[in-house]
Structure 1
Amino acid sequence: MTMNRRLFLGTMAAGSAILSAPMVLGQAKPRVVVIGGGAGGATAARYLAKDSQGALDVTLIEANPIYTTCFFSNLYIGGFYNFEDLQHGYDKIAAGGVTVINDLATGVDRAAKTVTLAGGQTVPYDRLVLSPGIDFREGSVAGWSVADAEVMPHAYKAGPQTQLLKAQIEAMPQGGTFAMIAPPNPYRCPPGPYERISMVAWYLKQNNPTAKILIADPKENFSKKALFEEGWGRHYSGMVEWVGPDMGGNEIEVRPGSMEVLIDGEVTKVDVCNVIPGQVAGQIAALAGVTADSGWAPVDPANMRSKMDENIWVLGDSSAQGDMPKSGFSANSQAKIAAMAIRGDLLGSRVFPAKYSNTCWSLIAADDGVKVGAAYEPTPEKIASVESFISQTGEDAALRKATYEESLGWYAGITADMFG
């Protein structure tokens, strides 16, 4: 499977034409409010406005006027992207008929069907879409809290944290140590921490070749493990050490004040520590009362509708839906299904059976790209993988370069699809 900008956008345009619905006349427009302006929310807002041809009143609520993609932020750390390449505005979404409100959603009254904003405004809805990404599970890493992120950054919400982590890496002393505390399952972008290790290693190889990288990981396995380990051995021999649970990777403590990491009681002094803690659904999902004990929001696999409230849909990282990874591609795919279902709900337009897809690309070194992905369909229990693929160890350089170039085309395509 290959993906480029033309194919990505062409496929989306075809779907839009199929799903277009006539405007409902002679009645007030149904109101759809979308919270979260990332891969799920921005896509849902655009498609709801575009495919309803003005028949829906669509409002997008996003605290940040400029959105910074978490996907591809590792390439900024590695020096392959500029920070500005990750940033996107909402002007084209607004021009497409969406009311964009840059404010923080602080509450949802499900009985009154209203959203409360930090600025005091109350926004009514007929249907609500929640796509707030992730928040962090306090206490998941001993010795670390979100307040310590200015010393030991997570950089798992892109923006200032990403810039801070990159600055810390650039300031490392020669021969210093970079440590990562990898997250427990489930978490945003399963290959993300290990692509980040690859990009840190790439930077250090060019600028600090005697530096060391230590990964403390509570998981026995992780996405593309064989591919990453092969790549680390080929490109960064002797630089990267991965410590899994059998060696104490699940017995971790950090000391931000002294920049120390304890693995199974053994103390290591480090120069940079990237703590990626355990994760839960974005806070507004919990405030809306649509999360389960797991911290994630269960949804109907057929359309991403909340199992807690028939007037709410939950997309992307925040949802508990089954086999799909928490990724930008997944959120974008889910958003189109949800938009179609909401239009059917409110306007009576035709709803086609759901088909979902995902691909996650990772860059290991310059022109050494790998990928994993799948096609998915709903079952009564979950969204289930029905067909999958993954790059293979031992692939030649030309194929790896083509995979990386494919990822660049996908980034251009999905950001155009999200933001117009």
Structure 2
Amino acid sequence: MALNRRSFLGAALAAGAAVSAPAVLGQGRPKVVVIGGGAGGATAARYIAKDSAGAIDVTLVEPTRTYFTCFFSNLYIGGFRELSSIAHSYGTLASDYGINVVHDWAVGVDRDTKTVTLASGHSLAYDRLVVAPGIDFVDESVPGWDLNAQIKMPHAWKAGSQTQLLKYQVEAMPEGGTFCMVAPPNPFRCPPGPYERVSMIAHVLKAQNPTAKILIVDPKEKFSKQALFEEGWQRHYSGMIDRIGPDFGGGNAEVRPDAMEVVIDGAVEKVDVCNVIPAQKAGHIAHLAGLADSSGFCPIVPATMQSRMDENIHVLGDACIAGDMPKSGFSANSQAKVAAMAVRAALTGSRAFPAKYSNTCWSLIETDDGVKVGASYQPTEEKIAKVDGFISQTGEDAALRKATYEESLGWYAGIAMDIFG
């Protein structure tokens, strides 16, 4: 089924529907604190507040006042979107849904006393906690790179100023220069994302700097939508893009930001722009709270998104181990609705329906050349398991690819409203 704004919201409302009972008489309203205001956290806060009809006191903790979505940020780099189109505020969550939005950093979680400590020194009590902090980077996963190097070699894997910086650097490349991407190992946020980004940068260079080259240094043997991207690169950007996989040293790379050099299996490459996307782990607060395992991510109960470390905490989105689900904005939004229903059921006695999850990831390869991959999922005892799926096919005609891209625009409008109100 094609998704547009109306059908996405309709499906979202159906998926999250539950009739809430009032809070227990004689007690104060139960308290829910949500850490992280992205696709997972903001959705969870909105659905808990909306569907409990005021029976639950919801506080959302998010340090930024304007949130830039990582999904569609590549289209900004490619010149298909304005930065303002992926920027969202939290005013509607506060004014229309009664959510207490606190712009601060969560710096500690005391699971025994059920309190969250903020950087300001204040603390928040909770009956249930939702943790959706997104990702942080694994230290030293790319030798020579750390956050001190993100100005010279931006990651742009957290959208906003880093995305602006990378776009500027690409547009300022010298004629015939070299753009290099150091791609991340699995698992990472948005599996098709690096390769859509390459496509968008190739789109810019094809128009502005057609003799420039793109080099992808990739530790993975294969990647999401590989056949679709490679077909598109050959069709639209023939001769511009070269990918070095692990068989040719892609898994053995280091960077020298001051010299603007990338060392690939001992061979030194001089580059003009370098986009380093390091290995990833759950956001820092998840580790401080003791919710992550040795993988760096957080194990959850598939039916409720509850942490396996603490039944009073739910972990969503990029930070969690979601079985067959990819780390995407759509996944986080879907998981948030399941968690919100579980939280309402636990705190107000409302009915909880069986959990169902879904995801679609769209990518733009060139103007009106859109592709997608998606699936539906259900929980098992062990994991969130894929039930069925779909993917665009190589050789599709231009009309279908254009329709797929237009479908993605409707989806973005719908999910943005579903998250931020």
Question: How much has 1:68 moved relative to structure 2?
Answer: 0.5
Match of 2:368 in 1: 367
2:116 counterpart residue number:
115
| Counterpart secondary structure, 1:22 | coil
- How far apart are 1:12 and its partner, in Å? 2.1
- Following superposition of structure 1 onto structure 2, how do residues 280-319 of structure 1 map, counting pairs within 5 Å? 280-319=281-320
Determine if the alignment matches structure 1 residue 30 to structure 2 residue 42. Answer: no
| CA-CA distance at 1:259 after TM superposition | 0.2
- SS of residue in 2 equivalent to 1:388: strand
CA separation in 1, counterparts of 2:315 and 2:30?
A: 19
Q: What is the 5 A alignment of 1:11-410?
A: 11-16=11-16, 18-24=17-23, 25-95=25-95, 96-410=97-411
**Aligned-partner Cα distance in 2 for 1:318–1:6:** 29
Match of 2:417 in 1: 416
User: How far does residue 188 in structure 1 lie from its aligned partner after superposition?
Assistant: 0.1
Distance in structure 2 (CA, Å) of the matches to 1:15 and 1:324: 17
Distance 1:154 1:325 in 2: 20
**Amino acid across the alignment from 1:19:** A
Q: 2:385 & 2:148 partners in 1: Cα distance?
A: 37
Please give the TM-score of this superposition, normalised by the length of structure 2: 0.99
Query: Conserved in 2, the CA contact under 8 Å of 1:20 and 1:53?
Result: no
**Letter in structure 1 aligned against 2:175:** Q
Gap runs ≥5 in structure 1: none
Cα pair 1:138 1:146 within 8 Å, conserved: no
Distance 2:269 2:27 in 1: 67
Instruction: State whether residues 15 and 337 of structure 2, in contact with CA within 8 Å, keep that contact through their aligned partners in structure 1.
Output: no
Number of equivalent positions: 419
**Letter of the 1:20 counterpart:** V
CA RMSD of aligned residues (A): 0.8
CA contact (8 A) 2:31 2:58 kept: yes
Question: Within 2, Cα distance between the matches of 1:39 and 1:9?
Answer: 14
For residue 93 of structure 1, give the secondary structure of its aligned residue in structure 2: helix
**What percentage of residue pairs aligned between the two structures are identical?**
68
Distance apart, 1:26 and its partner CA: 3.3
Q: Which whole-Å CA distance do the structure 2 matches of 1:312 and 1:73 have between them? A: 30
Code of the residue aligned with 2:30 in structure 1: it is P
- TM-superposed CA distance for 1:10, in Å, is 1.5
Separation in 2, partners of 1:10, 1:336: 13
Give yes or no for contact 2:39–2:419 (8 Å, CA) kept in 1.
yes
- C-alpha displacement at 1:389, in angstroms? 0.4
Consecutive unaligned residues in structure 2, runs of 5 or more: none
Provide Cα deviations, 1:206-230, integer angstroms capped at 9, x if missing partner. Answer: 1000000000000000000000000
Q: Is the 8 A contact 1:217 1:244 kept in 2?
A: yes
Q: Give me the TM-score of the superposition, normalised by structure 1.
A: 0.99
